[in-house]
């Protein structure tokens, strides 16, 4: 690593894929050519805001302290060159300040040539199930024996994180079965999100249940907590005991079902992102209610989340003309959720931990005979942000080695 290169405005490592060869400029634009032939253009104001010096970012936190509106004028370029270390040097006027830019960081943030700056860190791959299919499964037996942020830990976590980011689901095997060990495992990824069900919650049949999950009856495909304004992005279910007859786990990729609906019945697909359904969990001690579409798309029309849970829907409160189209679309979707080619089925073994995207994956359960043995899962929630952050940290550690 060239120690003469400037800092970057973050904590990451940015390998130099190509060297800066030539630079030209106008008062508001810098144009560089790289050793591999690429040409990149950077606006002067963008460069000024993204400098890494102590007038722009706090060196202790790498958070920006510059307020562009406090500069003496629009930051224009008086000169630009490549110095002996390979960094880009720019003189800004009327501020009369020379700032240096790391070539690896510049190349990684080349918005002039970017295809999609908001692309997910791992490509999203919708999947169907069917007979004999199961979740990506990894041996995680040594996870809690590794040091946090070590290469050994990352060797286990990296492929698990990729499966969750890409497919929405992974199964880790060989983990401890001591009660409450789930929290230590989860914190290897990020903070746990507590809910009214607790930091951890026990999924087993119990007297006086406050959720269908805490019975032995079958559960239809659903996401958890659609009754929240911001439903948890991730769920973990850790098997501590399972000796019952029945209770097979069922999982479906809600994105695959939604895309199939878009193809088969465009009218029904157009209805579900438009109509806001009522989701309600009116238990004895709590009363959560939220209104949201069953399918949510981003600005580009790509799937962002599904919010499907029949047993947690309250009475539909929609425009009069929307009621019948809404129920028609709902029943079309419900029939598709029963199609076996969308589902994977598996039996939990003690020590199994399933991590899945709770705003994409639908999970279900067959009924089980409670008197035939014991079935005890512990669960917790966290956010999609945590798994994305952890994955980026793994990638950063790899680049810094």
**Could you read off the pLDDT of 279-314 as tens digits, one per residue?**
999 888 889 999 999 999 998 899 999 999 999 999
Asked whether residue 388 carries a pLDDT value surpassing 80, the answer given is yes
Residue 207 gets which letter from DSSP? S
Torsion over CA: 235, 238, 241, 243 (sign): positive
Domain boundary among 82, 116, 150: 116
- Summarize pLDDT for 171-200 with one digit per residue, the tens: 999 999 999 999 999 999 999 999 999 999
Q: Do the domain assignments include residue 80?
A: yes
**% the chain with pLDDT above 90:** 83
Please check the confidence at residue 207 and state whether its pLDDT lies above 80.
Answer: no
Say whether pLDDT at 370 is over 70: no
CA distance 188 to 400: 20
Residues 32 and 71 in one domain: yes
128 in a structural domain: no
Mean pLDDT for the chain?
A: 94
> What is the secondary structure of 116-150 as a DSSP string?
-TT--SS--------TT----EEE-TTGGGSPTTS
Domain boundary among 64, 84, 116: 116
Q: Are residues 164 and 220 in the same domain?
A: yes
In this structure, what CATH number is given to the domain that contains residue 186? Answer: 3.60.130.10
Cis peptide before 279 (omega within 30 of 0): no
Instruction: Give the confidence band of 363 by pLDDT, cuts at 50, 70, 90.
Output: very high
Percent of the chain clearing pLDDT 70 (strictly above): 98
pLDDT digits (tens, 9 = 90+) for 44-74: 999 999 999 999 999 999 999 999 999 999 9
Instruction: For residues 206 and 306, state if they share a domain.
Output: yes
Q: Could you tell me if 162 and 101 lie in one domain?
A: no
Please state the separation of Cα 127 from the chain's center in Å.
17
Rounded distance between C-alpha atoms, residue 6 and residue 387, angstroms = 30
Q: Output the pLDDT for position 180.
A: 94
Do 108 and 141 fall within a single domain?
Answer: no
Q: How many Cβ atoms from other residues are within 10 Å of residue 331's Cβ?
A: 11
110 and 149 co-located in one domain: no
Residues 217, 299 within the same domain: yes
Among 65, 84, 116, residue at a domain's last position: 116
Cα separations in angstroms, 181 against 3, 127, 131, 350, 351: 43, 31, 32, 13, 10
Q: Please state, in angstroms and rounded to a whole number, the distance separating the CA atoms of residues 284 and 366.
A: 26
In a domain, 125, yes or no: no
The answer on pLDDT for 167 being more than 70 is yes
Number of domains forming the structure of the chain: 2
pLDDT in tens, 247-269: 899 999 999 999 999 999 999 99
Question: What does the pLDDT read at residue 3?
Answer: 67
Question: Does the pLDDT of residue 116 top 80, yes or no?
Answer: no
Q: For residues 179 and 227, state if they share a domain.
A: yes
In a domain, 1, yes or no: no
7 DSSP assignment? P
Q: Are residues 158 and 304 in the same domain?
A: yes
For residues 295 and 257, membership in a common domain is answered with: yes
CB 50 within 8 A of CB 82: no
CATH of the domain at 67: 3.30.2020.30
Q: Is the predicted pLDDT of residue 142 greater than 60, yes or no?
A: yes
- Tokens 């079309």 correspond to 332
Q: Is residue 131 part of a domain?
A: no
Which position has the token pair 């005991």? 241
DSSP string, 8-42: -SSS-----SS-EEEEEEETTEEEEEETTS-EEEE
Shared-domain flag, residues 82 and 179: no
| Alpha-carbon dihedral 262, 266, 268, 274, rounded to 10 degrees | 90
- C-alpha 315/C-alpha 287 separation (Å) is 15
Residue 13 lies in a domain: no
In-domain check, residue 6 = no
227 burial (CB, 10 Å; 0-12 / 13-18 / 19+) is: buried
Q: How confident is the model at residue 40 (pLDDT cuts 50, 70, 90)?
A: very high
Residue 153 lies in a domain: yes
Cα-based distances in Å from 144 to 152, 155, 188, 204, 360 = 10, 13, 9, 25, 28
153 has pLDDT over 80: yes
DSSP, collapsed to helix, strand or coil, labels residue 162 as: helix
* pLDDT of 117 higher than 90: no
Q: Print the domain residue range for 36.
A: 20-116
Distance between CA atoms of 296 and 95, rounded to whole angstroms? Answer: 46
pLDDT bin (cut points 50, 70, 90) of residue 113 is very high
**Residues near 104 by Cβ (< 8 Å), separated by ≥ 6?**
8, 13, 14, 15, 16, 17
Question: Do 271 and 343 belong together in one domain?
Answer: yes
DSSP 284: S
Determine the pLDDT at residue 371. Answer: 67
Determine the Cα–Cα distance for residues 375 and 213; give it in Å rounded to an integer: 12
Lowest mean pLDDT among 3-12, 324-333, 363-372: 363-372
């Amino acid at each position: 690593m060239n120690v003469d290169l400037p800092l970057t405005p973050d904590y990451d490592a940015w390998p130099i894929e190509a060297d800066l060869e030539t630079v030209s400029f106008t008062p508001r634009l810098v144009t560089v050519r790289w050793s591999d032939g690429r040409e990149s253009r950077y606006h002067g104001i963008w460069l000024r805001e993204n400098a890494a010096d102590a007038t722009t970012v706090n060196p202790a936190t790498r958070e920006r302290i510059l307020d562009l509106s406090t500069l003496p004028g629009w930051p224009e370029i008086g000169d630009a060159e490549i110095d002996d270390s390979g960094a880009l040097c720019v003189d800004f006027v009327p501020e009369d300040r020379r700032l240096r830019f790391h070539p690896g960081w510049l190349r990684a943030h080349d918005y002039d040539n970017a295809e999609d700056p908001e692309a997910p860190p791992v490509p999203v791959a919708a999947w169907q199930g069917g007979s004999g299919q199961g979740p990506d499964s990894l041996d995680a037996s040594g996870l809690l024996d590794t040091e946090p942020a070590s290469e050994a830990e990352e060797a286990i976590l990296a492929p698990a994180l990729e499966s969750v980011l890409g497919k929405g689901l992974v199964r880790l095997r060989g983990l401890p079965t001591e009660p409450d060990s789930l929290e230590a495992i989860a914190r290897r990824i990020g903070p746990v999100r507590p809910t009214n069900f607790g930091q951890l919650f026990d999924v087993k049949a119990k007297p006086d249940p406050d959720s269908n999950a805490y019975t032995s009856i079958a559960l239809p495909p659903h996401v958890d907590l659609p009754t929240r304004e911001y439903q948890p992005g991730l769920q973990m279910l850790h098997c501590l005991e399972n000796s019952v007859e029945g209770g097979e786990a069922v999982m479906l990729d809600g994105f695959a079902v939604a895309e199939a609906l878009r193809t088969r019945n465009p009218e029904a697909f157009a209805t579900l992102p438009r109509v806001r359904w009522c989701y309600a969990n009116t238990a004895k001690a709590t009363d959560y209610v939220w209104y949201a579409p069953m399918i949510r798309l981003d600005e580009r029309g790509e799937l962002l989340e599904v919010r499907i849970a029949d047993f947690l829907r309250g009475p539909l409160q929609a425009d009069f003309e929307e009621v019948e189209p809404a129920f028609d679309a709902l029943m079309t979707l419900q029939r598709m959720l029963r199609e076996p080619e969308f589902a994977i089925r598996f039996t939990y073994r003690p020590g199994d931990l399933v991590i899945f995207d709770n705003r994409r994956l639908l999970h279900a359960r067959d009924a089980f005979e409670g008197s035939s043995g014991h079935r005890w899962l512990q669960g917790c929630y966290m956010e999609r942000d945590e798994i994305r952050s952890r994955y980026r940290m793994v990638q950063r550690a790899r680049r810094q080695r």
